[in-house]
Amino acid sequence: MATEQELQSLFKTLDRDQDGKVSIHELFLNPGLSAIISSETNTSSPQELLARYGSDENGSITFEELKKAVEKASNLT
């Protein structure tokens, strides 16, 4: 389980270009952090995470979308 602050820190680390979104490319650049996110959201891969929770057709997810995914998986403390 992650706190919102921990999730925000993780998101900022993954968002390498600082555009406010984490792309599939950024997720694959850091497989260790991607595994943590997959665990927190109950998804099996970055592709599944983006397909289920990303609203943008370019294959990226915002912090709010990620937060909702973690909340839905009941892993936000």
Tell me how crowded residue 2 is: count the other CB atoms within 10 A of its CB.
18
2 band by pLDDT with thresholds 50, 70 and 90:
confident
Query: 18-52, pLDDT tens digit by residue?
Result: 999 999 999 999 988 888 888 889 999 889 999 98
Q: What are the φ/ψ torsions at residue 45 (nearest 5 degrees)?
A: -160, 165
> Which pTM value belongs to this model?
0.85
Let me know if 6 is exposed, middle or buried by CB neighbors in 10 A (0-12, 13-18, 19+): middle
Report the top-level CATH class of 4-72.
Answer: mainly alpha
